[in-house]
Each structure stands twice: as C-alpha cells, then as structure tokens.
Amino acid sequence: MTDAPIIAARGVTRRFGGLVALDGVDLDVPRGIVQAIIGPNGSGKTTLLNALSGASHADAGSIRIGGQE
C-alpha cells in the first residue's frame, strides 16, 4: 500500500468572469480518512467539490484522484 493521498489537489484555481472562486487551493486527503470541507456561504466549497469530481473544470492547477490526473 502506498502513502500517497487518495485525493491530491495543487494550486486549483477557478474563475467566473472577474470573480475568483478558488485561488490556488492545495488539498490532500489521505487514504482511509473522512474529510470535511466547511466554510461560510460563497466560500467555494461547492466549486471545489465540482472541480474534484470533474463536474466542472479548474482554470489552473492539478487534481489527482487515486494517483491519476
């Protein structure tokens, strides 16, 4: 088994026109860990989850799920 995180995001950025919804987000989720993403309305939680799931694209950065980009 590897120590690599099951989810690894580096420098994830997402813009909607002039609004920067995600600004260089880095995230590691280790295997076997339940992780929560919390924050106020409008903080980018749904935008991040959409980028991680592939429902929308990131404008910059990289996302690896299970070691694959």
Query: For each of the chain's 69 residues, which pLDDT tens digit applies?
Result: 578 999 999 999 999 999 999 999 999 999 999 999 999 999 999 999 999 999 999 999 999 999 888
Q: What's the pTM value of the predicted model, to 2 decimals?
A: 0.89
Cα 42–Cα 30–Cα 21 angle in degrees, nearest 5: 20
Q: Round to whole Å and give the CA distance between 28 and 10.
A: 9
Residue 57 tokens read as 């694209």
